[in-house]
């Protein structure tokens, strides 16, 4: 007889697998992205049968933002029906993060699967995803509904989102010391994630690598805060990361030289993204500025939806005529950046509230958790997420929402253990 606990562990593992492989599944035949909805439904039904559910406290600030989004959704209903529900498909993505938090908070009760174990599984799945992302670029298999590779990039997923999720996995692998993984896994896994991040030739990827690099230096040096809030970094962990760094430095240098000689497209892409980040795109060998492209997307939407209407500029004009996937509907505007989506949909008021909420959540998390986790996990997470809001849909992507949901669940579990 099959143990029900093992079945629910498999379901949770499959859900996490779907979160990690979301960007790849969205391009495959068979509508594999729908699997996560089925798994979520099963888990939610199982939670409903629990005699003792996890007590969840929702801060007032988050409730206010949730109510704000709901109001804007209701005001957008007419436009939803008028423009093929593009805006609603975008808006529904906000629901994933709270759903993932709720689901992962109950994993311990349902199948005795701790958030620490789920984080370890996430890192392993992300390493597998990274390897397949590169392999499937070179080896074509007829499993694609929409096979699209981007110029100068080695990968089959959506690089702007993938690099953020990979960076989150790298941060957790190197800095989250509560994970029980061997030194070999830390070194090899870190090298794979770093290497694939570099192969994406993405500006967002370069930004995430810079953040990871800076925090790695602090970590290797064994930075300590005040005596009342001591940050203790284990020597073994520092040695593992230092060893990884020597290998990564050599491989990165070798890879860039190889790009320059054998894959000039990839080298030019990497050079261009670095120039764009440094705001010196005039020195790039190719005349492309992806940040200007995002600005042009916003300008077009702003011109037709907001124009000189001060009230719309301040309070926004809803989600009815915004899309995050380009299609043939010219009445709905494609916006790739979450910052610009919020500027159009919920105006300056909602945009300031959103970023204020991020800052508040970070400060709250650091004050409640151990100094190690706060400085080496939460702060780089927040910086990378903040940067990603200007280049992608960020929390509107399933992968990023899923990882943050898992980390929030782990944070809440840690606080509950301390208070008990």
- Per residue in 389-416, pLDDT (tens digit) is 998 888 899 999 999 999 999 988 876 6
What local confidence, expressed as pLDDT, does residue 324 receive? 75
Q: List phi, psi (to 5°) of 9.
A: -65, -40
Where do the H-state alpha helices sit in 263-337?
A: 264-277, 290-305, 310-315
- The model's pLDDT over 188-212, given as tens digits with 9 standing for 90+, comes to 898 899 889 988 888 888 899 989 9
Q: What is the DSSP letter of 16?
A: H
pLDDT of residue 399: 93
State how far the Cα of 323 lies from the Cα of 15, in Å rounded to an integer: 26
This prediction's pTM: 0.90
- The token pair at 118 is 């789920």
DSSP code for 58: P
pLDDT at 95: 92
**Tokens 């994993």, residue located:** 107
Nearest by Cα to 324 from 88, 30, 162: 88
DSSP string for residues in 344-408: HHTHHHHHHHHHHHHHHHHHHHHHHS-HHHIIIIIHHHHHHHHHHTTTS-GGGSHHHHHHHHHHH
Q: Burial level of 172, CB count in 10 A (0-12/13-18/19+)?
A: buried
Rounded-to-integer distance, Cα 373 and Cα 417, Å: 16
Helix/strand/coil (H, E, C) string of 139-178? Answer: CCCCCECCCCCCCCCCCCCCHHHHHHHHHHHHHHHHHCCC
Q: Each residue's pLDDT tens digit in the chain (420 positions)?
A: 357 888 999 999 999 999 999 999 988 888 889 999 999 999 999 988 876 777 777 888 899 999 999 999 999 999 888 887 888 989 999 999 999 999 999 999 898 899 999 999 999 999 999 999 989 888 888 888 877 777 767 888 888 899 999 999 999 998 887 888 888 888 889 889 988 998 888 888 889 998 998 888 887 776 654 434 444 455 556 666 777 767 777 777 676 666 666 656 777 777 777 777 777 776 676 777 788 889 999 999 999 999 888 999 999 999 998 987 776 666 789 999 999 999 999 999 999 999 999 999 998 888 776 667 878 889 999 999 999 999 888 889 999 999 999 999 998 887 665 555
- Residue 374 to residue 369: CA distance in whole angstroms: 6
**Res 84: pLDDT:** 77
pLDDT at site 418: 56
* Phi, psi of 148, deg, nearest 5: -135, 120
- 3-state class of 113 per DSSP? coil
Q: Which whole-number Å values give the CA distances from 414 to 93, 182, 231, in the listed order?
A: 27, 23, 18
> CB atoms < 10 A from the CB of 315, how many?
15
Give the C-alpha separation, 207 to 383, whole Å: 10
- Which token pair is 56? 């969840």
Q: Environment class of residue 373 by beta-carbon count within 10 Å: exposed (0-12), middle (13-18) or buried (19+)?
A: buried
pLDDT of residue 234: 56
Give dist(CA 5, CA 11) in Å, integer.
10
Going by C-alpha positions, the residue among 115, 123, 226, 133 that lies closest to residue 175 is 123
């Amino acid at each position: 007889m099959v143990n029900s606990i093992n079945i629910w562990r498999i379901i949770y593992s499959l859900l996490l697998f779907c979160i990690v492989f979301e960007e790849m599944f969205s391009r495959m035949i068979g509508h594999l992205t729908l699997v996560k909805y089925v798994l979520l439904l099963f888990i939610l039904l199982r939670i409903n049968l629990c005699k003792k559910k996890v007590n969840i406290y929702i801060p007032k600030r988050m409730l206010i933002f949730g109510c704000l989004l709901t109001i804007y959704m209701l005001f957008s209903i007419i436009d939803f029906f008028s423009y093929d529900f593009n805006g609603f498909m975008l808006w529904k993505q906000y629901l994933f993060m709270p759903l993932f938090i709720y689901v992962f908070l109950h994993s311990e009760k349902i199948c005795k699967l701790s958030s620490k174990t789920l984080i370890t599984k996430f890192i392993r799945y992300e390493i597998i995803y990274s390897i397949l992302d590169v392999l499937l670029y070179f080896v074509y298999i007829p499993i694609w509904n929409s096979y699209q590779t981007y110029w100068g990039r080695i990968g089959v997923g959506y690089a702007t989102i993938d690099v953020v999720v990979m960076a989150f996995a790298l941060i957790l692998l190197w800095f989250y010391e509560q994970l029980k993984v061997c030194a070999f896994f830390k070194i090899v896994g870190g090298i794979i994630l770093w290497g694939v991040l570099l192969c994406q030739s993405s500006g967002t990827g370069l930004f995430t690598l810079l953040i990871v690099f800076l925090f790695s230096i602090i970590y290797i040096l064994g930075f300590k805060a005040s005596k009342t809030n001591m940050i203790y970094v284990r020597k073994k962990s520092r040695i593992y990361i230092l060893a990884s760094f020597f290998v990564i430095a050599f491989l990165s240098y070798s890879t860039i030289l190889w790009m320059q000689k054998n894959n000039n497209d990839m080298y030019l892409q990497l050079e261009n993204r670095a120039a764009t980040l440094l705001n010196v795109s005039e020195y790039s060998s190719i005349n492309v500025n992806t940040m200007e492209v995002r600005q042009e997307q916003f300008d077009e939407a702003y011109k037709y939806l907001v124009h000189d209407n001060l009230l719309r500029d301040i309070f926004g004009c809803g989600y009815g005529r915004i899309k995050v996937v380009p299609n043939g509907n010219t009445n709905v505007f494609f916006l790739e950046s979450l910052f610009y989506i919020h500027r159009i949909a919920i105006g300056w008021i909602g945009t300031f509230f959103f970023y204020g909420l991020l800052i508040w959540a970070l400060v709250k998390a650091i004050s409640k958790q151990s100094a190690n986790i706060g400085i080496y996990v939460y702060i780089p997470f927040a910086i990378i997420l903040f940067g990603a809001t200007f280049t992608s849909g960020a929390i509107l992507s399933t992968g990023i929402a899923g990882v943050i949901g898992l980390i929030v669940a782990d944070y809440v579990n840690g606080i509950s253990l301390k208070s008990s």
